């Protein structure tokens, strides 16, 4: 029996996640010493340290872990299902549709009317996008059909976002939309955590439950059906998992790309390369990567905080190209 993944992979990722979480609450424009953090955690400490740690950094750290985990897991699940190493949530239009909903909330002023309006609309449009994907793909189980339908949904959503920027009533509205589209965890509160957490929990559960299906699909659709896999139900679970999980993540963080693409490629060489073997490592790796990137945007000296989505793209492309050159093989 072959080893599904390196025995130290999961413990190492958990350790890295704990280190990243600790760094997220201690590092920033105002460094907090371990003594001040311990004083706050034991019920004491000064008011400034308590406000920074409890009200600002703790929810930001939690969101970094939650959003990163969902993006990494969804990328791994989609790469396995579509048998495409370039697959990520945006391939099926889920991220773009969620971003369109959030942009509509900003454009029409709904986000100012109620704090739940933006995430609710982002999740709703993500589900609508997945529903439209089903209609466009029809009864076909072909991954190529889903990819082409997803490209159509993503393109239409992108056009809607561009239209909102083109017709924005004033430059301040356009700046707000552009700022959100670049992705960030800055100024997030516990209310955002409670919005994202249930969505990510449901989405992750649906995706992880399909591990056996993803392995069977490496034999092709006919081979998977011969093993008793109901491809239609599997596709429904996968699409709903991506729509709900990514919709909830994008709703609180904005559009953050590349995490779902690069993380599965980084952990795959340490596994037997079966799709199910990389699901949990990708989820942990996504949490680590996004949390470390969020620490980076706080520490890089700039006049205003660098947007998280910009940093993940700037760092992700070189890492991906280096990894690609080392592999030099078909996935």
pLDDT above 70 coverage of the chain, percent: 95
What is the total residue count of the chain?
331
Query: How confident is the model over 255-300, as pLDDT tens digits?
Result: 888 888 889 988 988 888 888 889 999 999 999 999 999 998 888 8
pLDDT band of residue 170 (cuts 50, 70, 90) is confident
Residue with the two structure tokens 């209310």: 191
pLDDT at 3: 64
Q: Quick one: pLDDT at residue 200?
A: 93
152 and 137 Cβ atoms separated by less than 8 Å: no
Residue 50, number of CB atoms within 10 A of its CB: 16
| pLDDT tens digits for range 201-238 | 999 999 998 888 888 877 777 777 777 777 778 888 88
pLDDT tens sequence across 44-56: 777 888 888 888 8
For the chain, what is the mean pLDDT? 84
Q: Which residues contact 77 (CB under 8 A, 6 or more apart)?
A: 207, 210, 214, 238, 241, 242, 275, 279
Tokens found for residue 13: 């990722």
Question: In this predicted structure, what is the pLDDT of residue 331?
Answer: 47
Whether pLDDT at 324 is above 70: no
The pLDDT of residue 1 is above 60: no
The more confident residue out of 193 and 38 is 193
Segment 113-129 shows an average pLDDT of 83
* Average pLDDT of span 293-316: 83
Structure tokens at 17: 């996640």
Give the pLDDT mean for 12-22.
95
Q: Which has the closest alpha carbon to 100: 76, 74, 129, 78?
A: 129
pLDDT band at 323 (very low <50, low <70, confident <90, very high): low
Residue 327, pLDDT above cutoff 90:
no
Neighbour tally for 200: CB within 10 Å:
27
Could you give the domains of the chain? 12-24+64-324 (1.10.3470.10)
pLDDT surpassing 90 at residue 16 = yes
Range in 7-16, 84-93, 256-265 the model is least confident about: 84-93
CA-CA-CA-CA dihedral for 34, 37, 43, 46, to nearest 10: 110
pLDDT value at position 83? 79
What's residue 328's pLDDT?
59
pLDDT, position 27: 85
Helical ranges in 167-278 per DSSP H: 171-181, 190-208, 211-216, 221-226, 231-253, 259-267
């Amino acid at each position: 029996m072959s080893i599904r993944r390196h025995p130290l992979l999961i413990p190492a990722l958990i350790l890295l996640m704990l280190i990243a979480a600790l760094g997220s609450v201690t590092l920033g424009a105002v460094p907090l010493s371990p003594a001040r953090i311990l004083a706050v955690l034991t019920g004491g400490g000064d008011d400034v340290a308590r406000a920074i740690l409890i009200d600002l950094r703790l929810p930001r750290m939690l969101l970094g872990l939650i959003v990163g985990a969902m993006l990494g897991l969804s990328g791994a699940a989609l790469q396995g299902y579509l048998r495409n190493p370039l697959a990520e949530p945006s391939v099926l239009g889920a991220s773009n549709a969620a971003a369109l909903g959030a942009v509509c909330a900003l454009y029409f002023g709904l986000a100012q009317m109620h704090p739940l309006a933006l995430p609710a609309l982002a999740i709703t449009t993500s589900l609508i996008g997945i529903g439209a994907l089903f209609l466009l793909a029809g009864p076909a189980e072909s991954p190529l059909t889903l990819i082409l339908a997803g490209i159509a949904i993503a393109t239409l959503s992108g056009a809607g976002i561009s239209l909102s920027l083109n017709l924005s009533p004033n430059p301040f509205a356009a700046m707000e939309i552009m700022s959100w589209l670049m992705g960030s965890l800055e100024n997030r509160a516990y209310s955002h955590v409670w919005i994202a957490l249930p969505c990510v929990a449901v989405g992750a559960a649906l995706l992880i439950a399909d591990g056996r299906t993803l392995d069977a699909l490496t034999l092709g659709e006919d081979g998977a059906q011969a093993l008793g896999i109901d491809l239609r139900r599997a596709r429904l679970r996968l699409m709903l998992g991506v729509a709900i999980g990514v919709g909830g993540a994008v709703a609180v963080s904005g559009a953050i790309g590349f995490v779902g693409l690069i993380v599965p490629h980084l952990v795959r060489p340490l596994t037997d390369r079966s799709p199910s073997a990389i699901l949990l490592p990708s989820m942990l790796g996504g949490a680590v990567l996004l949390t470390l990137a969020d620490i980076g945007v706080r520490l890089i000296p700039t006049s205003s905080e660098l947007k998280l989505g910009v940093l993940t793209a700037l760092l992700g492309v070189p890492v991906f190209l280096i990894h690609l050159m080392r592999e030099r093989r078909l996935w």
